[in-house]
Structure 1
Amino acid sequence: MHPLHFQSSKEQGINVHRYLPGTRTAVTRHWPGLFQDWPPGPTPFTEYAVNNNNMEEVAVYTGLVWRLTAGLARYAIPTYYRDEAALALGREPVLVDWEYDIEAEDPHAVRDNGFVPGRSTTDTSRAGLFALSTPRDLVRLLHAVLLDATSEITVFAVAPGQARLEDLAAALSGASRPSLPLVIRDEDVFVDLTIGSDIDYYDAITVASHTDLRPRLDELANDFARRIETYETRVASLSDVGAFLGAVPDLSGIDLDTR
């Protein structure tokens, strides 16, 4: 089985794919330096949101989300930590009334609660929708949310253009609970990334689209299997933080500062 194995189904008439690793992470041989002190300067966490708890799999997730949504405009809701995300990104979001909620407290399944009222640390009624320009923006959101037992970021990858952004924000606002099949259109891609940090909380990736993304997910899974195997054969030889940071782009398949 591939390190990134997705279970596929039809839910509410759209294609849904879920990655549920349970206790097995995508990368199983970790860099020993993650468990040592790091010198001042760029670190695995500052650059990739990787630490000795949420390890190299986080870089794989970042690469997967970015590569899966290539060619689309990406907007993300960091669950609850809206203001912290604004500080990390250096810009304000579009305020919306609803955010997505997935509970990953079972290694083999998730509780998909759909859209729930938006919230933040300072405002109990609004969520924030942030534009993502590069993968580094996604890492900055991870910095903002990786504070609790479980953390969540929802990405809406939609057709580029101001009109589509306004339609997306409108669909996520108002008194009526949104329906995911109506929020996403045509070639749009929805990705929910949930990361568990404490015992009995697990990672989960949920992908949804009207389009059948199974072929693309299989292609990415094959590519990541090769990248992970290559990384694991060299991980013990990475001599310091600089060497580790140099190896991660090959693992994730992306450059953090490119579109």
Structure 2
Amino acid sequence: MHPLRFQSSKEQGINVHRYLPGTQTAVTRHWPGLFQDWQPGPTPFTEYAVNNNNMEEVAVYTGLVWRLTAGLARYAIPAYYRDEAARALGREPALVDWEYDIEAADPHAVRDNGFVQGRSTAVPGWSDPRKDAQRAGLFGLSTPRDLIRLLHAVLLDASCEITVFAVAPGQARLKDLVAALSGASRPSLPSVIRDEDVFVDLTIGSDIDYYDAITVASHTDLQPRLDALANDFARRIEVYENRVNTLPDVEAFLGALRDLTGIDLDAT
């Protein structure tokens, strides 16, 4: 089976593609060093949010999300862990009323709940009143490292979720996106994304009976781009797995992860 096979369909009149690996992760041969102690300094977790539970596949997901949304301005909602994400990124988000919700408790399907009322770990009355606990945070992502920092903030539960809206650059489009995610009326995904926008929801399961899932949606047909990326990742995964047992230390492993993702963590 292709390691990144997406199921495609039309939902609410837009193109939706889902990657549902179930129990078969994209990378099947893992670096033995993930199960050893690491010295202080850059580690698989600090650099790629990779550990001995959420392993190399997380790096693949990061590379896929970033490369699929190239050329667009990226904004993300980390489900629930808004304030933790603000601390990880060192900046405050735009507050919005709605966040996306996907449940991946089945290896073969997801429950797509669409937009739900925003939530956060903030306790009402304990924090700045502008940070209402019933509001989500929309963060701009400048580099892939920002996406990694969001993963650091959310990889705390049995399952975590980050939703990325890749839209046309510019303050006017950002203002419209914030407006579409705000207000009393529940938005629909086709009305939030426009034209060449790309929506990506990344769900990562950490505990038993929770699974990984990637949902991609757009008004345009992204199948050719997804196929090209899937083929490239298949090649990168094969190269990685052929060398994984020869990597002597963390530094070598981090270099292999850079090759696996196909991105520079600090590049735009």
Q: TM-score, normalized by length of structure 2?
A: 0.96
Aligned equivalent of 2:220: 211
| Residue 125 of structure 1: aligned partner | 134
Give the drift of 1:198.
Answer: 0.1
* Residue-by-residue CA offset, 1:74-93 (whole Å, 9 max, x unaligned): 00000000000000000000
Correspondence for 2:159 among 150, 159, 179: 150
Q: Which runs of no fewer than 5 residues in structure 2 stay unpaired?
A: 123-131
CA distance in 2 between counterparts of 1:56 and 1:113 reads 28
- Tell me how far 1:124 sits from its aligned partner: 3.1
Q: Kindly provide the amino acid, as one letter, of the partner of residue 45 in structure 1.
A: F
Number of positions where the alignment pairs a residue of Structure 1 with one of Structure 2: 259
1:187-212: CA deviations, max 9, x gaps?
00000000000000000000000000
**Structure 1 CA distance, aligned partners of 2:195 and 2:259?**
32
Residue 7 of structure 2 corresponds to 7
Match of 1:69 in 2: 69
Over 2 Å off, 4+ runs:
none
Is 1:243 aligned with 2:263? Answer: no
TM-score with structure 1 length normalisation? 0.99
Q: Of residues 189, 192, 195 in structure 1, which corresponds to 2:201?
A: 192
Q: Deviations over 1:27-81 (max 9, x none)?
A: 0000000000111111000000000000000000000000000000000000000
* Aligned ranges 1:134-149 → 2 under 5 Å: 134-149=143-158
Amino acid at match of 1:5: R
- Give runs of aligned pairs for residues 162-177 of structure 1, distance below 5 A: 162-177=171-186
SS in 1 for 2:253: helix
Which residue identity does 1:30 align to in structure 2? Answer: H
- The within-5 A match list for 1:217-236 is 217-236=226-245
Q: 2: distance between equivalents of 1:250 and 1:92?
A: 32
Higher mean alpha-carbon deviation, 239-248 vs 69-78, is at 239-248
Please list every run of 5 or more consecutive structure 1 residues that lacks an aligned counterpart in the other structure. Answer: none
How far the C-alpha of 1:177 sits from its partner, in A, is 0.1
SS in 2 for 1:114: strand
Q: 1:180 aligns with which of 173, 176, 189?
A: 189
Identity of aligned residues (%): 88
CA distance in 1, matches of 2:241, 2:139: 34
Match of 1:51 in 2: 51
Residues in 1 aligned to 2:255 and 2:16: alpha-carbon distance in whole angstroms: 34
**How far is 1:246 from its partner?**
1.1
Superposition deviation, residue 2 in structure 1: 1.2
Provide the secondary structure at the position in 1 that maps to 2:66: helix
Query: Partner amino acid for 1:207?
Result: V
Matches of 1:256 and 1:36 in 2, distance apart? Answer: 24
